[in-house]
């Protein structure tokens, strides 16, 4: 072998060795990179599992709290609650219907011996009873509205009090928490007055009222303070006044219906004009030393408890239903932050004047793109299907 050929062989060996070293270096780098990725992925997976993902939600059964990220847009960090009576996830099926009010009894109670010719307003329709007319009775100190299944009565000076009440918790003006739930007013005890109210709703409206009521003591000093705190809202009606005394003291009763001691959900949901929703329930009374000041009975129900036992789906099963909803309907970029989960009883329309009071898993939270910035998603706790989304 001459010198030239030897030199070529050496060069070839060097080139081959360099290629081998380069491949080895690349292989080592690649293995290290993959190992790092694997470690990072495992670390992220562990972090997500501890925070709660759809594969491993974090549920604190003692504190009744859940943390769960369903995807990049749906996040749960919420307390959850189940009524004790349904802790075994069983309840009997509850049927309901809307009763006709007793018009003669309403006139007897709220008009007394006044003789007033009604104004008839025709052309109304409801899915429960079809076509119907409304009757209005007006006098100098009272107005009575009879609407077949609903009624409303108000008396002189009720606006003075009502303009100081803001009972919608969705708005900053809410102020019911400023009035005492314990204080007894001088003209009578809330418990004795409630007995009168409960009997009236049964006799005149045809519904049973729960003994678990709230009665806010509207004392004149607090009313005056709240009037002044909300002058920007009150002055629009021109009824702000400095004339307040003990004569203005009143109780504001917020009433409920219940099943097994669990209150029936009263907020409306869905589109009632398309027949797929349910209108809100309002059962409230203003009562002062002279008696009735304002009475409202809208959308009460006759309730029938059957012997048919139903199984209630668990929270985990409800989360699966919620996950399926968002897999199909979530808009990318929207943030759904769920901060409260509860099992509640909700009126659900079946057909005609047939309803069911169903157990429903409610998921409430915040989404800036909804009407008021929050949402309420309802999952039927028997079928697992979504009822409707309330925004």
CA angle 89, 94, 97 (to 5 degrees): 155
List CB contacts of 244: < 8 A, sequence separation 6 or more.
220, 221, 223, 224
DSSP string, 120-151: EEEEEEETTTEEEEEEEEE-SSEEEEE-SS-E
146 pLDDT exceeds 90?
A: yes
Which region among 87-96, 230-239, 254-263, 319-328 has the lowest average model confidence (pLDDT)? Answer: 230-239
What is the percent of the chain where pLDDT is above 70? 82
DSSP string, 292-328: EEEEEEES--EEEEEEEEEEPPPHHHHHHHHHHHHHH
Cα dist. 153→2, 52, 162, 195, 298 in Å? 122, 52, 14, 19, 12
**209 vs 59, residue with greater confidence:** 209
Q: 73 is written with which tokens?
A: 């847009």
**234 vs 382, residue with greater confidence:** 382
Whole-number Å distance between alpha carbons of 185 and 183? 6
Q: What digits encode the pLDDT tens for the residues 289-333?
A: 999 999 999 999 999 999 999 999 999 999 999 998 888 766 656
Average pLDDT for 194-212 = 98
Dihedral angle sign, alpha carbons of residues 351, 352, 357, 361:
positive
Nearest Cα neighbor of 353 from 95, 146, 92 is 95
Indicate the pLDDT class of residue 367, thresholds 50, 70 and 90: confident
| Bridge-based pairing state of the strands 119-126 and 130-138 | antiparallel
- For the chain, domain boundaries: 1-51, 52-92+305-390, 100-300
- Computed over every residue of the chain, the mean pLDDT equals 85
Dihedral angle sign, alpha carbons of residues 272, 83, 295, 171:
negative
8 pLDDT exceeds 70?
A: no
Contact 172, 313 (CB under 8 A): no
Contact 343, 360 (CB under 8 A): yes
Indicate the pLDDT class of residue 234, thresholds 50, 70 and 90: confident
Average pLDDT for 348-371 = 91
Overall residue count recorded for the chain in this entry? 391
pLDDT of 57 reads: 75
Q: 336 is written with which tokens?
A: 């759904």
Which region among 29-38, 70-79, 287-296, 382-391 has the lowest average model confidence (pLDDT)? Answer: 29-38
Alpha carbon 173 to chain centroid distance? 19
List CB contacts of 160: < 8 A, sequence separation 6 or more.
239, 241, 248
Cα dist. 40→48, 49, 54, 115, 307 in Å? 12, 14, 20, 83, 56
Alpha carbon 131 to chain centroid distance? 31
Indicate the pLDDT class of residue 382, thresholds 50, 70 and 90: very high
pLDDT of 300 reads: 98
335 pLDDT exceeds 80?
A: yes
**157 vs 247, residue with greater confidence:** 247
pLDDT of 29 reads: 39
């Amino acid at each position: 072998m001459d010198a030239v050929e030897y030199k070529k062989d050496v060069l070839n060996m060097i080139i081959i060795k360099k290629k081998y070293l380069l491949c080895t270096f690349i292989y080592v780098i690649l293995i290290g990179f993959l190992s790092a990725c694997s470690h990072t992925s495992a670390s992220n997976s562990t972090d997500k599992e501890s925070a709660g993902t759809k594969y491993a939600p974090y549920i604190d059964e003692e504190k009744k709290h859940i943390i769960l990220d369903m995807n990049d847009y749906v996040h749960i960090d919420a307390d959850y609650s189940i009524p004790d009576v349904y802790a075994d996830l069983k309840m009997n099926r509850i049927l309901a219907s809307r009763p006709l009010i007793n018009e003669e009894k309403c006139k007897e109670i709220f008009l007394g011996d006044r003789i007033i010719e009604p104004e008839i307003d025709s052309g109304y329709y409801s899915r429960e009873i079809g076509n119907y007319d409304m009757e209005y009775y007006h006098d100098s100190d009272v107005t009575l509205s009879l609407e077949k299944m609903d009624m409303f009565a108000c008396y002189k000076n009720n606006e003075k009090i009502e303009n100081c009440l803001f009972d919608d918790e969705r708005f900053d003006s809410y102020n019911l928490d400023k009035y005492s739930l314990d204080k007894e007013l001088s003209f009578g005890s809330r418990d004795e007055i409630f007995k009168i109210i409960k009997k009236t709703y049964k006799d005149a409206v045809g519904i049973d009222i729960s003994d678990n009521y709230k009665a806010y003591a509207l004392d004149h000093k607090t009313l005056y303070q709240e009037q002044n705190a909300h002058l920007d809202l009150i002055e629009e009606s021109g009824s702000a006044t400095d004339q307040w005394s003990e004569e203005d003291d009143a109780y504001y009763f917020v009433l409920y219906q219940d099943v097994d001691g669990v209150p029936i959900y009263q907020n409306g949901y869905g589109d009632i004009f398309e027949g797929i929703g349910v209108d809100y329930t309002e059962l409230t009374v203003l009562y002062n030393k002279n008696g009735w000041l304002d009475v409202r009975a809208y959308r009460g129900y006759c309730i029938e408890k059957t012997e048919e036992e139903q199984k209630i789906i668990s929270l985990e099963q409800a989360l699966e239903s919620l996950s399926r909803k968002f897999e199909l309907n979530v808009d990318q970029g929207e943030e759904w932050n769920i901060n409260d989960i509860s099992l509640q009883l909700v009126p659900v329309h079946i057909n005609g004047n047939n309803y069911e009071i169903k157990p429903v898993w409610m998921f409430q939270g915040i989404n800036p793109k909804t009407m008021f910035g929050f949402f309420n998603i309802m999952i039927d706790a028997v079928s697992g299907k979504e009822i409707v989304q309330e925004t």
